[in-house]
A and B are shown apart, each in its own frame.
Chain A
Amino acid sequence: MARQFLLLENTRAVIQAENHLKELNIPCRVMPVPRAISSECGMCLEITPPVKEPQLEKIKALALPSTIVALD
């Protein structure tokens, strides 16, 4: 299955998103943003293992300034 990343606009947003995912019991880890996604030099969250509905909907319901990206 493709790897799944949550891209956020800055460091503070990554920390807030990690806290929210912990509350939802969705495992994740902090990663450098993969070069295949962006030349961004900051950090993102990898959701591991990747999630589907209904967890995906729960993440979207958080209304974070984020993008969920799948990468093979």
Chain B
Amino acid sequence: MKRLTYFDNSATSFPKPPAVAAAISHYLTEIGGSYGRSANTRTFTVARTIEQCRDALAQELGVSQAENIGFTANATQAANTVINGLDLEGGRVLISPMEHNAIARPLEALRLAGKITVEPLPAHPDGTIDCDRIHVPEDTRLVIINHQSNVNGVTQPLETLRKTIHSAPVMIDASQSLGKHNFLAEQWGLDFVVFTGHKGLMGPTGTGGFWAKNPERISPLLLGGTGSNSEHLSMPDSLPDRFEAGTPNIAGLFGLEAALANKPEQAYTQSNLHELLAAIRDIPAFQLYAATNPRQQGSLFSLTHESMDSGELAWKLDSLFGIETRSGLHCAPLAHQHLGTAPSGTCRISLSPYHTADDLGYLLEAFQELA
């Protein structure tokens, strides 16, 4: 079997399940048609597939109202929709220390405009939020938590955190975790979840979205045609149309629907991953950045080398071993500040469910040779 040396799955997963490309090709070459703009056979076929995709995502998220899921181009657009669509003015937003710029930048724009204050939640050195020290002031309008860090893979205990935060609305960035973890948004009492389709869900780029428990609290980010209520110049209230102006990424959603219906079994075991991390810890030249509690470890981690910067390490892994990784700040400067790895960043290794124990062994051999 050919060795899989692509370890940049937190940027975008590869390979995809074969059904993804087949579904996209099927749409582009045989189906055609739009979504919701007419009532011809092709358009209705498209609508059926897109709604099947929405229903499958509801199952993945652990929610009952699939129409409360709005499709967007990516998690960034979804996060902007929620953050800018809520009435946060004059209030406080609490965030985890591991937030990505998809969250940090829209919040910073609101902060600079004098509309909100932003404060980090207390956390342990690996980024795990410290439930015992959480204080949620009365003027808190939103708490945002990165479910799984895209830098060290630490996965936050959402059910426990939700109870600690009490009644303040909670938004989760599930970009790295959805598709990899059993997700129970309703059972955990979450209010908003933003996600992407092309990472853990194994779909194509250009797909993503958000789920809202109470979507009426969000004003839509984009305004335009929906194929419904066309005689009115304001956006319809009905869901999901309220948040889906413009023709969606139909080819992409065909691919995402196929990905959700054809999820691969993970080829490596959690023990394989933990053994790899333990072996890296034993190499003095490397500093590992991972979850302190192995049960909170996601399928990615970072490292630095005592004498090479992260870019050089990534380049050597690629040029000498064909191992593809990502170096730098990973669009998450706040996380790197918390971990003490800013501004130089780290070299990140992110796994695919298609990786085998042999692939992880090859990765370890490369680290040992570069030590």
Expressed in whole angstroms, the minimum distance between the Cβ of B223 and any Cβ of chain A is: 16
Interface membership of A31, Cβ < 8 A: yes
Interface membership of B230, Cβ < 8 A: yes
Top 7 closest pairs, chain A to chain B, by CB: A43-B39, A11-B36, A9-B238, A32-B39, A10-B228, A41-B230, A10-B241
Interchain CA distance A18-B207 in the complex, whole Å? 27
A42-B228, A65-B238 given as contacts; is B39 within 8 A of A30 (CB)? yes
Interface membership of B231, Cβ < 8 A: yes
Interface membership of B236, Cβ < 8 A: yes
Q: Which residues of A1-39 have CB atoms within 8 Å of chain B's CB atoms? A: 9-16, 30-33, 38-39
Q: Could you tell me if A40 and B231 are in contact, using CB atoms closer than 8 angstroms?
A: yes
Which residues of the partner chain B approach A30 to less than 8 Å between Cβ atoms? Answer: 39, 44
Interchain CA distance A13-B44 in the complex, whole Å? 12
Q: Could you tell me if A41 and B240 are in contact, using CB atoms closer than 8 angstroms?
A: no
Interchain CA distance A14-B39 in the complex, whole Å? 10
Q: Could you tell me if B38 and A10 are in contact, using CB atoms closer than 8 angstroms?
A: no
Interface membership of B60, Cβ < 8 A: no
Which residues of the partner chain A approach B227 to less than 8 Å between Cβ atoms? Answer: 10-11, 41-42
The contact sample of 24 A-B pairs, CB cut-off 8 A, is A9-B229, A9-B236, A9-B241, A10-B36, A10-B239, A11-B35, A11-B227, A12-B54, A13-B238, A14-B47, A30-B39, A31-B39, A32-B38, A40-B230, A41-B230, A42-B36, A42-B38, A42-B39, A42-B227, A42-B228, A42-B230, A43-B36, A43-B39, A44-B39
Which residues of the partner chain A approach B66 to less than 8 Å between Cβ atoms? Answer: 12
Interchain CA distance A61-B159 in the complex, whole Å? 37
Interchain CA distance A15-B47 in the complex, whole Å? 8
Which residues of the partner chain A approach B318 to less than 8 Å between Cβ atoms? Answer: none
Question: When each residue 183-202 of chain B gets 1 if its CB lies under 8 Å from chain A and 0 otherwise, what string results?
Answer: 00000000000000000000
Q: Could you tell me if A12 and B240 are in contact, using CB atoms closer than 8 angstroms?
A: yes
Q: Which residues of B43-63 have CB atoms within 8 Å of chain A's CB atoms? A: 43-44, 47-48, 51, 54
Tally of B interface residues using CB under 8 Å: 24
What residue of chain B has the Cβ atom nearest to residue A38's Cβ?
A: B231
Give chain B's interface secondary structure class.
loop
Q: Could you tell me if B238 and A11 are in contact, using CB atoms closer than 8 angstroms?
A: no
Interface membership of B67, Cβ < 8 A: yes
A41-B37, A43-B38, A65-B238 given as contacts; is B228 within 8 A of A9 (CB)? yes
Interface membership of B226, Cβ < 8 A: yes
A14, A38, A65 interface centre (most CB from chain B within 10 Å): A14
Which residues of the partner chain A approach B236 to less than 8 Å between Cβ atoms? Answer: 9-10
Which residues of the partner chain B approach A13 to less than 8 Å between Cβ atoms? Answer: 238
B36, B39, B44, B239 interface centre (most CB from chain A within 10 Å): B39
Q: Could you tell me if A10 and B39 are in contact, using CB atoms closer than 8 angstroms?
A: no
Which residues of the partner chain B approach A41 to less than 8 Å between Cβ atoms? Answer: 37-38, 227, 230
Expressed in whole angstroms, the minimum distance between the Cβ of A66 and any Cβ of chain B is: 11
Which residues of the partner chain A approach B39 to less than 8 Å between Cβ atoms? Answer: 30-33, 42-44
What residue of chain B has the Cβ atom nearest to residue A29's Cβ?
A: B39
Interchain CA distance A32-B331 in the complex, whole Å? 46
What residue of chain A has the Cβ atom nearest to residue B237's Cβ?
A: A9
Which residues of the partner chain A approach B238 to less than 8 Å between Cβ atoms? Answer: 9-10, 13, 65
What residue of chain A has the Cβ atom nearest to residue B54's Cβ?
A: A12
Which residues of the partner chain A approach B67 to less than 8 Å between Cβ atoms? Answer: 12
Q: Which residues of B12-52 have CB atoms within 8 Å of chain A's CB atoms? A: 35-39, 43-44, 47-48, 51
Which residues of the partner chain B approach A40 to less than 8 Å between Cβ atoms? Answer: 228-231
Q: Which residues of A25-72 have CB atoms within 8 Å of chain B's CB atoms? A: 30-33, 38-44, 65
Expressed in whole angstroms, the minimum distance between the Cβ of B209 and any Cβ of chain A is: 14
